[in-house]
Chain A
Amino acid sequence: MFTAFIKSITRCYFVYMLALYSFQAQANTDRELMLRASDQKAVARGEKLYQSVCFGCHGLALEGGTGFNLRDAVWVHGGRPSQILESLERGFPDKGMMAFKNVYNSQSLKDIVAFILAKQVGLRHLKYDVYDGFEVDEKKRQFPDLKKLKLIKSVNHHNKELDFSIPIPGKTGIIYRGSIYVPKSENPIIVVTKLGPADIFKISAAGRQLKQEKFNKSTWHYAIRPGRQRFEVAYFNEGRTRVPRLYLKLGEELIPLNKAASSFEKQSTYNIIATSEAKVVRKKIDQLPIRSIAVGLPEKINYAFNAKSCSIVGIWGDDLLNIGPNIAERGKLASIPLGNRWFYDNKGIYLTIDGQQAPCKYTKYTRKGSPEFHFILDQVKLTLAAKRVTKTSITFAVTSSNLKNKKIKLNFPPSVEVSNPLGNVGENFLTIVPSGSRQFDFTVSPNSGGERNAN
Chain B
Amino acid sequence: MPINLKQLFIKCGVFLFGFAAAINLNCHAAYSPAGYSIKTIETPKDVRFHITGLDIDKDGSIVCATRIGDVWRFKNNAWQLIADGLHEPTGLLIEEDGTLLVAQKPELTRLVDSDKNGIFDEYIRIADGWEFHDNYHEFNFGPVKDLQGNIYGALNLGHQTPDAFKYGGMDSAGGYRGWAYRVTPTGKFEPWAYGLRSPAGMGVSPKGEIFFSDNQGDWVGTSKIHLLRQNEFYGHPASLIDLPEFNRAKVAAMTADDFNKMRELPNVWIPHQEVANSPGNLVWNSTGGKFGPFENQIFVGDQTQSNIFRVLLDKVGDEYQGAVITFMDGFQSGNIRLAFDKKGSLWVGQTARGWAARGGKPFGLEKVEWDGTQPFELETIKLNSNGFKLVFTQDIAKKTIDTSSFTVSHWHYHYNQKYGSPKVDVTPVQVTHAKSTTDPKALEISLPLVRNKVYGIRFNGITSKTGKKPSSNTVYYTLNKLYQ
Contact = CB atoms under 8 A, between A and B. Distances in A.
A334 B136 CA distance: 10
A334 B88 CA distance: 13
Given A227-B17, A228-B17, A282-B86, A327 B6 contact: no
Interface string A265-289: 0000010000000011111100000
Nearest to A52: B273
Contact of B356 (A60, A283, A290): A60
B206 interface: no
Nearest to A47: B20
B133 interface: yes
Interface residues of B, number: 65
A329 B8 contact: no
Contacts, number: 197
A400 B132 CA distance: 30
Contact of B134 (A91, A183, A290, A366): A290
A39 B16 CA distance: 10
Interface residues of A, number: 81
Contacts of A83: 2
Given A282-B85, A327-B68, A114 B18 contact: yes
Contacts of A329: 353-354
A65 B353 CA distance: 9
B18 A65 contact: no
A97 B419 contact: yes
In the complex, which of the residues B123, B218, B278 has the most CB atoms of chain A within 10 Å of its own CB atom?
B123
Given A283-B87, A290-B133, A329-B354, A125 B19 contact: no
B104 interface: yes
Given A34-B12, A282-B69, A102 B422 contact: yes
Nearest to A283: B87
Contact of A60 (B26, B48, B104, B106): B26
Interface string B339-367: 00000000000000111101010000000
A34 B9 contact: yes
A94 B160 CA distance: 12
Contacts of B5: 79-81, 117, 120, 124
Interface string A63-96: 0011000000000001111010000000101111
Contacts of B84: 279-281
Given A55-B356, A329-B353, A37 B16 contact: yes
A158 B399 CA distance: 68
A96 B121 CA distance: 41
A310 to B, nearest CB: 12
A38 B123 contact: no
A281 B132 contact: no
B426 to A, nearest CB: 11
A304 to B, nearest CB: 12
A326 B248 CA distance: 30
A1 interface: no
Interface in B365-420: 417-420
B273 A330 contact: no
B484 interface: no
Interface string A306-345: 0100000000000000010001111110100000000000
Nearest to A284: B134
B169 interface: yes
Interface in B217-275: 217-218, 273
Interface in B37-75: 48, 67-69
5 contacts: A65-B354, A65-B355, A93-B419, A228-B16, A368-B115
Given A40-B18, A282-B87, 19 more contacts: A37-B16, A37-B18, A43-B20, A52-B273, A56-B278, A56-B356, A59-B356, A60-B26, A65-B354, A66-B354, A79-B2, A83-B2, A96-B169, A184-B20, A227-B17, A282-B104, A329-B353, A362-B125, A363-B125
